[in-house]
Structure 1
Amino acid sequence: MLFAPPRLRKGDVVAVATPSAPVMTPRRLARGAEALRELGYEVRMGPLAAGGVQNATPDQRVDELNRFFADPEVRCVVASLGGLNSNAVLEALDYDALRADPKIILGYSDITTILLAVHRRAGLVTFHGPTLLPELAEYPQILPYTRDKLLRAVARPQPLGRLTPAEEHTDEMLLWDESDDRARRLRPGDGWQWLHGGTGTGPLLGGNLETIGLLAGTEYLPDLTGAVVFLETCATDIRVVEQSLTQLRMLRVFDKMAALLLGRSFRAPDGFETALRQLVRSTTARYRVPVVAGLDIGHSDPMLTLPLGVRARVDARTRSVEVLDAAVR
């Protein structure tokens, strides 16, 4: 059974958790908290970020999450940022608490493990979208596409409907707390590219390509049979992407999927995006399902917020990607 959490309302408590990498930029953290307040939410900062804890153990990280999961006042838990080791908290997460009191769980990148595990073990719709430091703390404000797509997903009990590409994007890197006192430069977007035709409908499931592989063979990876799979990568070496795609192919993910959505590459060298699309095109050619590349998901600024578990339809004839079900109630 799939549970949709209650929609986020003005005045609700949004908790900031740090299940992976530590927070090392206090000024950026404060700006992210203020951005949430400006959206109308009360912010509850987790002790790991608030205390600047740099070497938190898995027990400390899971305790922070479970306290938020059990708190009836908390309506949304957003990750402060990604990292490398959020899979260390999965075995001790309080999935029963989330089944009893569903909340919005939000993040991407390494947080993919938590999104997929919570969806698999608690049957809860989770949200692949912005984290606090990289996106919500953007200077001088959250990028409008990121903000609008987030609120549309978590604050409105209606289907997202047809998704649209961002008109602008940026890959510019500014050092947090040092040189992020000007807006990053945006350049025109180039839309999405259809690599293979066809139509497919199924639950939206996916996340960071390399991180999904960490769950292979575990009880935390959902069944991807019939899914509209979405993948994004922060890799900049095409061999790393090929390695991860090969793992999914060997797991027969591509045999079972209804469609594939591929995110735009992240701060990659010249020619990488073209090589990425060629690799995915050739890898998925035999499966005869629609494949779309260049989506604004994951390591992409601005970004979509995608709800995991709700139905989506991908149709090459109409060049459309549509989310069919509401993600919140």
Structure 2
Amino acid sequence: MILPKALKPGARLAIVSPASAAKVELVEAGMARLRGMGYEPVLMPHALARGPLYYAGPVSERVADLHTAFADTSIDGIVCTRGGWGSAELLPYLDAELIKANPKVFVGYSDHTSLHIWMRKFAGLVTFHGPMVAADFSRADGADVASWNAAICGGGAWSVGTAEGLRVLKPGVAEGVFDGGCLSIFVESLGTPYTPEASNGILFLEDIGTKPYQWDRQLLHLRYAGQLDRVKGIVLGDMTQCVPAEEQDLLERAILHALWDFAGPVGIGLRSGHVGAGNLTLPLGVESRLDLSAEARLDFFGAVS
């Protein structure tokens, strides 16, 4: 895997919208927050485009913004405005050689799981499941700065655990490459040319508005597709955006039912992706260690060069 360069103070961050159109006021608020953190956000030409339908402009413009951001040597990192739907449309038109030749920090979640999968599979690039401009940085408590700095600005080992919401659903210890993203987008990629390489490490899955039976169904789909055959451990996200508090127990029982024959440890509650506040930045494609034997802990061993 190719490690992007760490972001330094004053880094220039390209702001892109590969999927749905973002609200101008939220993008502006998010960019202001990034400036307050010492970065120079650079709004790409079509980042605020709208249409057709709910997209941030046509495919050609969204692809052009991504390619320009990677090719521009003055740009240090790329952050998406929001998710929604649309990133998968870009996949046939992305230039793997261009991206491999210009590796940079790329941050997003939700619909951008399709881009994370593509960048790992075809460009071998470590990417980041983390806060977006309009969705998270626009809110005072939307992004977890500590994990952002550890993942993207540092270079050594670091960890998340109980303080970040992680707790034990099934105990155990596992090691391997950390990968994953939004459950529904991950499942929808199966059977396409963009199916992810089956994980042989720690698989992270999260989503929004996904009911217990839907988690059960989609985890079964992953099992039948062979995606869990070599997985050593599973980390699930914060479920408060999926079901209300009174359904949390049912959701956890549905998950354990779907994973009845999974031998490795299973954690739940990690606050990354679709969360109410404090969105964590998690590196995808790096070595990790999941320890659910006592106090829940997830270690990462460097994600940037």
Matched residue SS, 1:127: strand
Aligned to 1:20: 19
Aligned to 2:43: 45
Q: C-alpha distance in 1, partners of 2:103/2:299?
A: 21
Q: C-alpha distance in 1, partners of 2:227/2:116?
A: 18
Question: Identical aligned pairs, as a percentage?
Answer: 29
8 Å CA contact 1:260–1:290 kept in 2: the answer is yes
Structure 1 residue 285 and structure 2 residue 268: aligned? Answer: no
Aligned to 2:201: 227
Q: C-alpha distance in 2, partners of 1:4/1:250?
A: 32
Aligned to 1:208: 182
C-alpha RMSD of matched pairs (Å): 1.7
Matched residue SS, 1:157: coil
Give the drift of 1:163: 0.9
Picking from 238, 241, 246, the partner of 2:215 is: 241
- The letter for the 2-side match of 1:136 is F
Picking from 152, 155, 158, the partner of 1:154 is: 152
Matched residue SS, 2:293: coil
8 Å CA contact 1:228–1:257 kept in 2: the answer is yes
Aligned to 1:318: 294
Aligned to 1:256: 230
Aligned to 2:283: 307
- The letter for the 1-side match of 2:8 is R
User: Which segment is superposed worse, 213-222 or 126-135?
Assistant: 213-222
Matched residue SS, 1:151: helix
Matched residue SS, 1:49: coil
Give the drift of 1:321: 2.8
Aligned to 2:116: 115
* Count of aligned pairs between the two proteins: 299
Give the drift of 1:166: 4.1
Picking from 270, 274, 280, the partner of 2:249 is: 274
Aligned to 1:181: none
8 Å CA contact 2:162–2:295 kept in 1: the answer is no
User: Which segment is superposed worse, 76-85 or 248-257?
Assistant: 248-257
Q: C-alpha distance in 1, partners of 2:118/2:91?
A: 7
- The letter for the 2-side match of 1:26 is V
Q: C-alpha distance in 1, partners of 2:10/2:137?
A: 17
Matched residue SS, 2:261: helix
8 Å CA contact 1:166–1:302 kept in 2: the answer is no
TM-score, reference length from structure 2 = 0.92
Q: Which 4+ stretches in 1 moved above 6 angstroms?
A: none
8 Å CA contact 1:5–1:124 kept in 2: the answer is yes
Structure 1 residue 328 and structure 2 residue 297: aligned? Answer: no
Aligned to 2:168: 194
8 Å CA contact 2:211–2:251 kept in 1: the answer is no
Q: C-alpha distance in 2, partners of 1:115/1:272?
A: 30
Q: C-alpha distance in 2, partners of 1:228/1:221?
A: 17
Aligned to 1:295: 270
Aligned to 1:35: 33
8 Å CA contact 1:166–1:296 kept in 2: the answer is no
Matched residue SS, 1:163: strand
Matched residue SS, 1:20: coil
8 Å CA contact 1:201–1:226 kept in 2: the answer is no
Q: C-alpha distance in 2, partners of 1:38/1:192?
A: 29
Give the drift of 1:267: 5.6
Matched residue SS, 1:239: helix
Gapped regions of structure 1 (runs ≥ 5): 168-190
